[in-house]
Every structure is written in structure tokens, then in C-alpha cells.
Amino acid sequence: SFLMGDAGRVAAGLGAAAMLVLCVSGAMLLAARLGWWAAILRPSRGSLSQRLHCELGRFAVIGLTLSALTGCWMSLATFGVLPDGAAAEVAALVQPSGAARLPPGQLAALQALDLSALRELTFPYGAALTDTYTLTTAQGTAHVDAATGQVLDVTPNGLARQVHETIVMLHTGRGVWPLAL
């Protein structure tokens, strides 16, 4: 959001859309130069600098188009035009203990958390001893008892959320390293 709130989010979305237009127009110019789409994978002709420009453009357009498409999707999802699959907040199915809260560092569920999967951690509200930690990860949403550190319930992500998480992973690269092994 460029530290500008919604105006920055709009600017980022417009930037992604502009990059998509540039990628499509560049691919069309490359195809026209090579003999249209049937010849897109054939060796390029011309001087060394022209051939190098064509070859680099072939590879760059793939990554830039993917980045532009995922950026557009994320921008449209931010403003509710496309679904992001975020589940509506539901109350925990199991009631919390209501005992005095432990410090967050002593809660077993938070200690066992893989930080690369963390999306959001909502702390309990004020003095309400029956409020829970709400933990949102790449896999779903869980409620954690603030007194015992036990997971009360887990709501896995639906298909729309899984698609959104995949798009975020492709755009940001966050969580991709296991795929490289």
C-alpha cells in the first residue's frame, strides 16, 4: 500500500494492471517480429543485440506476466471485487477456560506455530477472560485459549481461500522454498 492506505493499494493495483498491459503488448510485438504465435519458439533473427533482446524478452515476459496477474488478483481481492475466501469470524466451538491469562510466550499452541505460515494473530480483548487468541495461518483459522494455550477449534481454509493463498505465494514468493527442494 506504499504506506498510503487505500490510495496506495489503488496505485499498486493500477501499477500491476499497467505491467500486465506492457507484458501483453511486448509479447504481441515479439510474436509479430518472429512470424506470429506459430513461430514464437523459433530462433530469433537479426543482430546480436536484437537476438539477445528477443531471447531475454521471452523469459522475462513469463515472470512479469505472472507477477502482474497475481498483483491484479490481489488488488481486486483487497477491494472485494474478487473473492479472497476469508471466512467470517465465528465463535470458538469449545468455550475457553476463563482462567487468568498466561503470557503469549508460554502458550503451547503459539510456541508450536510455524511462523512462515502465520497470516494474522489477534490478541484477546481487554479484561474479558473468556476471549481467545485468533490465529490465522495459511491452512486455516484457530482459536487458542489464552489461559491454557490449548487450541479450541480449527476451521480449515475453503477452496477460494486456498486459491488466494496460492496466488499470494506466487506473487510474494513467501512459502515457495519447500517447492525448490
- pLDDT tens for 39-51 read 778 888 888 988 8
- pLDDT tens for 62-88 read 889 989 998 898 898 888 887 777 765
- Give the mean pLDDT of 54-62: 88
- pLDDT band for 16, please (50, 70, 90 cuts): very high
- Give the mean pLDDT of 124-145: 84
d(CA 89, CA 94): 15
pLDDT of residue 164: 80
pLDDT score of 32 more than 90: no
d(CA 60, CA 79): 29
pLDDT of residue 178: 62
pLDDT of residue 89: 56
pLDDT of residue 177: 64
DSSP the chain: -TTSTHHHHHHHHHHHHHHHHHHHHHHHHHHHHHTSGGGTTSPP-SSHHHHHHHHHHHHHHHHHHHHHHHHHHHHHHHTTSS---PPPP---SSPP---PPPPGGG-HHHHT--GGGEEEEEPPPTT-TT-EEEEEESSEEEEEETTT--EEEEEE--HHHHHHHHHHHHHH-TT-GGGG-
pLDDT score of 131 more than 80: yes
